[in-house]
Every structure is written in C-alpha cells, then in structure tokens.
Structure 1
C-alpha cells in the first residue's frame, strides 16, 4: 500500500510503501514519554521503501528498554515525531508514526507490545463522554 504523510506544520513530508498488516501499538514507558501520550502506534516500512520528500528531520538517539539504540526522527520546527529506526538488524525497518500518515483511517493495529507498561485505562475508553467536534 502506498502512503504519504507529514508533520503537523508540513515542513517534513514523506512517502512509503507499507504492508497495512504491519501496524502495531507499543505501551512501553519510552514510547509513552516520546509521544506524550498513553502509547505509540506505528506502521513498519522496509527502509528502502521509505523516503523523505521535503524537509530534514532532526534526530534524537534513545536507548530503548530492551537495550537497543533507537533513532527517533521529528520535525525541527513543530516537534512532531515522524519515524524511528535502529541499528544493525533494526536498521532495515522504519517505524512510521501513524498520526503523521495521511491514510491513517485505512490502517488498523494488529498487535500490541510491552503491555506490562500499559496504563490501566488505555483499553477502556468507551464509557467516557464523547463529542464529535
């Protein structure tokens, strides 16, 4: 599936070919802090199928809970997290932040990881009052 996307301000844009079945949720505490929310949702792409089309994302290197170095890329202007990648065996995969994908309505998570760090309320939002705008 072809996707494209951008950060909040539009300074950094990208395009990619992905498998729509490779959408995951991560509940680890690193992802909670890096996203500023309860969990991170990403779609994987093979490195050669991911291309920045405009802008130059800023890099932040984080040592993950599993000990691996993860390069986090975000917009230097608005701060939107855009994608992540790793080193060695992790270098061939790019984790694109789902919120930046223009086609995100067509993508559904298929797996969850680091559920031991999950916030207790994260799976039960149906009882909260809702507004459409």
Structure 2
C-alpha cells in the first residue's frame, strides 16, 4: 500500500509503502515522553521505501530502552514527530508516526508492545465521556 504524510506545517512531506495493518502501539516510557502522550502508534514502512518529497527532517539519535540507537526524525520548524529508524542511513526501516500519515484512518493496530508500561487508565478510556467538540 502506498501512503503519504507530512508534518503539521507542511515543510516536510513523504511517500512510502507498507503492508496493510502493519501498525504497532508502543507503551514504553521513552515513547510516552517523546510523544508527550500515553503511547505512540507507528506504521512500519517497507525497508528503504520512504521518500521525502519535500524538505528533510532533522534527526535526534537516542538510545532506546533495548540499548539500540534509534534516529528520531522530526520537523525542525513545527516540531512534528515523523518517524524512528535505525541510526545508519543505509537499509532503513522506518516506524512512521501514525498521526502524520494521511491515510491513518485506514490502519488499525495489530500489536501493542511494552505493555507493562501502559498507563492504567487506558483500559477504561471507553468509559470516559466523549464529545465531538469541546464541551
């Protein structure tokens, strides 16, 4: 499946390919901190399939909880988190941030990882009132 995506301000756009339903939700504390949210959802792109069609992301290399070095790509202008990938610029496998993917509604997570770090209230999220706009 071909997908497209961009940062919030539009300075960076990309195209990629992925297999359907190749979405993972990560609950690790690093993903919580780096996304400023309770978890991070990623679409795993096919190897070497990401093509930046406009702009180039800035990268920050961090050491994951696993000990692996991971390059975190983001827009230097608006700060949108775009991906994580291996540190080497060769043979990259991108975990594209689901929120920046244009076709995000077509994807459904197939697995959750680092679930021991999941925030306990997520299990009851469906019980919290939901509104279409700010109440």
- Same fold by TM (over 0.5)? yes
Aligned-pair CA distance for 1:49: 1.1
Aligned-pair CA distance for 1:92: 3.4
State the number of aligned residues.
132
Summarize deviations over 1:16-75 as a string: whole Å, max 9, x none. 111122100000000001101000000011232111110111110110000000000000
Q: Which residue in the other structure is 2:64 paired with?
A: 64
* Cα RMSD, aligned residues only: 1.5
Q: Which residue in the other structure is 1:127 paired with?
A: 127
Aligned-pair CA distance for 1:91: 4.8
Matching of residues 1-133 of structure 1 within 5 Å: 1-87=1-87, 91-133=91-133
Gaps of 5+ in 1: none
TM-score between the two structures when normalised by the length of structure 1: 0.94
Separation in structure 2 between the aligned mates of residue 91 and residue 60 of structure 1, nearest angstrom: 18
TM-score between the two structures when normalised by the length of structure 2: 0.92
> After the TM superposition, which segments of 4 or more aligned residues of structure 1 sit over 3 Å from their partners?
none
